Homo-oligomer: A and B are copies of this chain.
Amino acid sequence: MFDAAELGQRVSKREFKERELELRTKLLTLQYRTQELARFPVLIDFAGVEGAGKTTTINMLNMWMDPRWIRTTGYQEPTQVEMARPRFWRYWRDMPPKGRVGLYLSGRYSRPLIGRVYDHIDEHEFDKRLSEIIRFENALVDDGALVLKFWMHLGAAQQEKRLRKLEADPLRSYQVNEEDWRNHENYENFIAAAEDLITRTNRVGAAWHIVEGGNENYRHLRVGEIIAGELGRHLDAQEQEAANERPPARVASPDTPQVVTVFDALDLTLALPKSEYKEKLATYQAQLGELGRKAQENGISTVLVFEGPDASGKGGAIRRTVWSLDARSFTVHQFAAPTEEERAHHYLWRFWKRLPRAGQVAVFDRSWYGRVLVERAEGFATATEWRRAYNEINDFEHQIVDHGTLLLKFWLHIDEDEQLVRFQKREKSPYKHWKLTDEDWRNRELWEAYEQYGQDIVQYTSTKKAPWILVEANNKGYARLKVLKTLIDHLSARLDDNGIE
Interface residues, chain A, with chain B CB atoms under 8 Å away:
1, 3-5, 7-9, 11, 123-124, 127-128, 131, 192, 195, 199, 202-204, 207, 210, 222, 225-226, 228-229, 232-233, 255-256, 258-262, 264-265, 383-384, 387-388, 390-391, 394, 455, 458-464
**Are B4 and A462 touching (Cβ within 8 A)?**
yes
Bound-state Cα–Cα, A128 to B210, Å: 27
Q: Which chain B residues lie closer than 8 Å to A463 at the CB level? A: 1, 195, 199
Smallest beta-carbon distance A398→chain B, Å: 8
With A124-B127, A204-B384, A464-B192 in contact, is A9–B260 under 8 Å at CB?
yes
**Are A387 and B204 touching (Cβ within 8 A)?**
yes
With A7-B260, A204-B387 in contact, is A210–B1 under 8 Å at CB?
no
Smallest beta-carbon distance A85→chain B, Å: 22
**Are B199 and A394 touching (Cβ within 8 A)?**
yes
What is the chain B residue whose CB lies nearest that of A6?
Answer: B265
**Are A262 and B387 touching (Cβ within 8 A)?**
no
Bound-state Cα–Cα, A299 to B458, Å: 51
Bound-state Cα–Cα, A426 to B64, Å: 52
With A195-B463, A384-B204 in contact, is A262–B7 under 8 Å at CB?
yes
**Are A388 and B204 touching (Cβ within 8 A)?**
yes
Q: Name A256's contact: one of B226, B260, B458 (CB within 8 Å).
A: B226
Q: Which chain B residues lie closer than 8 Å to A232 at the CB level? A: 255
What would be 10 A-B contacts, judged by CB atoms less than 8 Å apart? A1-B459, A1-B460, A1-B461, A3-B462, A9-B258, A9-B260, A127-B128, A192-B464, A195-B463, A232-B255
**Are A460 and B202 touching (Cβ within 8 A)?**
yes
**Are A256 and B390 touching (Cβ within 8 A)?**
no
Q: Which chain B residues lie closer than 8 Å to A255 at the CB level? A: 229, 232-233
Smallest beta-carbon distance A213→chain B, Å: 14
Smallest beta-carbon distance A447→chain B, Å: 19
What is the chain B residue whose CB lies nearest that of A229?
Answer: B255
Bound-state Cα–Cα, A455 to B123, Å: 30
Known: A8-B260, A124-B124, A127-B128. 8 other contacts (CB 8 A): A3-B458, A5-B459, A7-B264, A9-B258, A9-B259, A11-B259, A124-B127, A207-B387
With A4-B458, A195-B463, A262-B3 in contact, is A229–B256 under 8 Å at CB?
yes
User: What are the 7 tightest A-B residue pairs by CB atom distance, in nearest-first order?
Assistant: A4-B459, A229-B255, A124-B124, A225-B256, A4-B458, A229-B256, A204-B387
**Are A261 and B7 touching (Cβ within 8 A)?**
yes
Smallest beta-carbon distance A128→chain B, Å: 7
**Are B203 and A391 touching (Cβ within 8 A)?**
yes
Smallest beta-carbon distance A230→chain B, Å: 9
Q: Which chain B residues lie closer than 8 Å to A124 at the CB level? A: 123-124, 127
Bound-state Cα–Cα, A307 to B453, Å: 53
**Are B455 and A4 touching (Cβ within 8 A)?**
yes
What is the chain B residue whose CB lies nearest that of A226?
Answer: B256
Bound-state Cα–Cα, A232 to B256, Å: 12
Smallest beta-carbon distance A413→chain B, Å: 14
Q: Which chain B residues lie closer than 8 Å to A233 at the CB level? A: 255, 383
Smallest beta-carbon distance A36→chain B, Å: 22
Bound-state Cα–Cα, A464 to B192, Å: 8
